[in-house]
Structure 1
Amino acid sequence: MYSYDTHIRVRYAETDQMGYVYHGNYAAYFEVARTEAFRQLGIRYKDLEADGVGMPVGELRTRFRRPARYDDLLTVRLLLRQPGEGSRVLFEYEIYNEANQLLTEGHTLMVFVSTANGRPVPVPADIQAKLAPFFTDEETAGPTTPPASRLPADAPAPAAFLKDNEQ
């Protein structure tokens, strides 16, 4: 399993009238954790895109347990319990406050796609190689998504990932 922690200080502009972090900001917190975790591994989104590979969000889930508030120092923990499978990687997140209370849980299912046509492509080999040391054989054996949602390798790209001229 791969785990990475990053810290984010809640800014006033990220809160709502009740003083809680506005729910839409959690997706950005998840993105910061993904970007920084990849950077720590020597993987840069900028390089992926230069190589013609994008990584859009295929699914986003967030469960709020307690509110985060202005000026809280949050620990955003990213967890990869399994390496990518096919064209997908499931990132899990836990957000804690300074008292180490679990505030939020969530996940994003990221899909590697060709920037040329928006169709899914396999997880790039260099990413697989950089993540491989963190996983045991048991962790690499299971699916990243439930079997009902698995697509054959030649399945068409979801419409949301196609370029306008392909729809």
Structure 2
Amino acid sequence: MYVHETRLRVRYGETDRMGFVYYGDYAEYYEVGRVEALRALGHPYGELEEQGVQLPVRDLHVTYHRPARYDDLLTVRTTITELPAVRIHFRYEVLGPDGTLLNEASTTLVFVDAATGRPKRAPEELVKALEPYFPSAS
């Protein structure tokens, strides 16, 4: 498993009238987590796009436990749970300032050829960068 942590602070505009982070904004937090996880592996989204690879979200599942509030410093823990093929699976945990689990989610994204709009295999370089984190798969 590959695990990466990103920290971000809740902005005022991300909160609702109750003072909680609006539920829809968590999807953006997950996006930040996965973009930074791939960047840390040496494969930023921009480079994937330059190679003609797109990564649309196929599905998103979320379970909320506790709310985050304005100005909280959150940790988004992003886990790639298996080596990618045509799809890549991410799991997320959003932790509050004290480490409390606020919510957990998962997404599945599909590697798509930008020219044809058809699914394609994950770039070989990305798979190779992930292989050390999955020793039993090598």
Q: 2:42 is matched with which residue?
A: 42
TM-score, scaled relative to structure 1 = 0.80
> Higher strand fraction: Structure 1 or Structure 2?
2
SS at match of 1:70: coil
Q: 1:29 is matched with which residue?
A: 29
Q: Distance in 2 between matches of 1:44 and 1:80?
A: 15
SS at match of 2:22: coil
Q: Distance in 2 between matches of 1:51 and 1:80?
A: 21
Q: Distance in 1 between matches of 2:45 and 2:5?
A: 18
Aligned partner letter, 1:35: V
Q: 2:14 is matched with which residue?
A: 14
Q: 2:124 is matched with which residue?
A: 125
1:138-149 alignment, distance < 5 Å: 140=137
Q: 2:82 is matched with which residue?
A: 82
Deviations 1:27-58 (CA, angstroms, capped at 9, x unpaired): 10001011111111110111111111100100
Aligned partner letter, 1:5: E
SS at match of 2:121: coil
- For the aligned residues, what is the CA RMSD? 1.1
Q: 2:57 is matched with which residue?
A: 57
Greater radius of gyration (CA): 1
SS at match of 2:68: coil
Q: Distance in 2 between matches of 1:48 and 1:2?
A: 19
Count residues in correspondence.
138
Q: 1:154 is matched with which residue?
A: none
Q: Distance in 2 between matches of 1:100 and 1:47?
A: 33
What is the aligned-residue identity percentage? Answer: 47
Q: Distance in 2 between matches of 1:81 and 1:36?
A: 16
- By relative contact order (CA 8 Å, sep 6+), the higher-ranking structure is 2
Unaligned runs of 5+ in 2: none
Q: Distance in 2 between matches of 1:49 and 1:81?
A: 23
SS at match of 1:24: helix
Q: 4+ runs of 1 displaced by more than 2 Å? A: none
| 1:81 to partner: Cα distance | 2.1
TM-score, scaled relative to structure 2 = 0.97
Deviations 1:74-121 (CA, angstroms, capped at 9, x unpaired): 00000112111x310110000000111100100110100011121100
Aligned partner letter, 2:88: V
